[in-house]
Amino acid sequence: MNIVVCLKQTPDTAKVKFDPATRTLSREGVENIMNPFDRQALEAALELKDAYGGKVTAVSMGLPMAADILKDALAMGADEAVLVSDKALAGSDTLATSTALAAAIKKIGAYDVILCGKQAVDGDTAQVGPEIAQHLRIPQLCNSLAITFADGQLVVKKENDYAALTLACAPPVLITVSKSEKEPRFASIKGKMKARKAVIPTWGIADLGLEPQQVGLSGSPTKVLKAFTPTPPEIHSEIIKEDDADEAVEKLFAKLTEAKIIKR
Ligand SMILES: Cc1cc2nc3c(=O)[nH]c(=O)nc-3n(C[C@H](O)[C@H](O)[C@H](O)COP(=O)(O)OP(=O)(O)OC[C@H]3O[C@@H](n4cnc5c(N)ncnc54)[C@H](O)[C@@H]3O)c2cc1C
């Protein structure tokens, strides 16, 4: 089974802030990590490879430093990794990002399954996976919790607010992952050594057969107009202390009525 897994390098969003002037994430001094949902997708890819054999290729689009997460992927057990990096990609929205990633996946060659995370924790749109499927004209199954392969079909378990679902689809298929069945594995010593020596190929847009106007700001119909950290709401609290419980309740009712939270 040929498996491609898309990995995005994101800032650790627990520590990141918006820069209102540039309307971008202020990444200064913030550690970059593999998007947590992508780590789950990578684990799901490795579980498929362990169970059914095959090859896992990791692909990331980003700055040259995104090679770090690809090395992590190799250390965890991915067989190959490719970085898509080019100045022309700067400012790409989800359409431009998925255009570049779909072109890279085509160049990687035959694939049975493409795995993406459910969403990236910085952009948070959850659009890139489904858009890649659309570019490649293949079906998509979103928000997977477990993936198996039976009777020539990929079988995906997922849940929503109303039901637990089991869906099946013949390859090639794109699956977005909420959670892998097992916790993402740690890299082995052997894996770390292999990753340290690995030279990760970098493809620019010319290697992907793309024109500059298809990607980056010029290939991005959407723009982030405003981005800021919302001010937390002001919370006024008061403790009602009465010796008599009935009096305390009466006082509480009066306050809630006055604030128009309840009607008497
Ligand atoms: C605060 C903020 C808001 C934004 N809002 C929008 C918006 O509304 N519309 C819009 O078009 N753009 C938006 N962008 C730009 C958007 O983040 C980029 O286009 C980004 O490259 C992809 O979108 P995402 O981070 O939402 O990814 P998602 O669509 O949430 O990512 C889903 C999955 O796709 C894969 N993936 C995504 N990006 C990459 C990558 N670079 N390399 C490898 N795999 C990847 C991963 O598996 C990931 O888990 C926003 C950016 C920021 C910082």
Question: What is the per-residue pLDDT across 148-183, written as a single tens digit (0 to 9) for each?
Answer: 999 999 999 999 889 999 999 999 999 999 999 999
Summarize the confidence of residues 99-104 as an average pLDDT.
Answer: 98
Please tell me the least confidently modeled range out of 41-50, 81-90, 218-227: 218-227
Q: Is the CB of 7 inside a 6 Å radius of any atom of ligand 1?
A: yes
Question: What is the per-residue pLDDT across 106-152, written as a single tens digit (0 to 9) for each?
Answer: 999 999 999 999 999 988 999 999 999 999 999 999 999 999 999 99
Ligand 1 atom index nearest CA of 116: 47
Helical ranges in 77-188 per DSSP H: 94-108, 128-136
Q: Is the CB of 198 inside a 6 Å radius of any atom of ligand 1?
A: no
Question: What is the per-residue pLDDT across 14-71, written as a single tens digit (0 to 9) for each?
Answer: 777 777 777 676 777 789 999 999 999 999 999 999 999 999 999 999 999 999 999 9
Question: What is the per-residue pLDDT across 250-264, written as a single tens digit (0 to 9) for each?
Answer: 999 999 999 888 887
Ligand 1 atom index nearest CA of 227: 1
The preferred substitution site among 97, 108, 180 for testing ligand 1, maximizing ligand atoms within 8 Å of CB, is 97
Q: Is 7's pLDDT higher than 80? A: yes
> pLDDT confidence of 227, banded at 50, 70, 90?
confident
Q: Are 27 and 51 a contacting pair, CB within 8 Å?
A: no
String of b and e for 103-142 (b: at least 16 CB within 10 Å)?
Answer: bbbeebeebbbbbbbbbbbbbeebbbbbbbbebbebebbb
Sign for the CA dihedral angle at 18, 19, 21, 24 comes to: negative
Q: Is 10's pLDDT higher than 90? A: yes
Q: Is 12's pLDDT higher than 90? A: no
Domain 2-219 in CATH: superfamily?
Answer: HUPs (3.40.50.620)
Domain ranges of the chain: 2-219, 232-264
Q: Residue 26's pLDDT is what?
A: 72
pTM of the model: 0.88
Q: Is the CB of 178 inside a 6 Å radius of any atom of ligand 1?
A: no
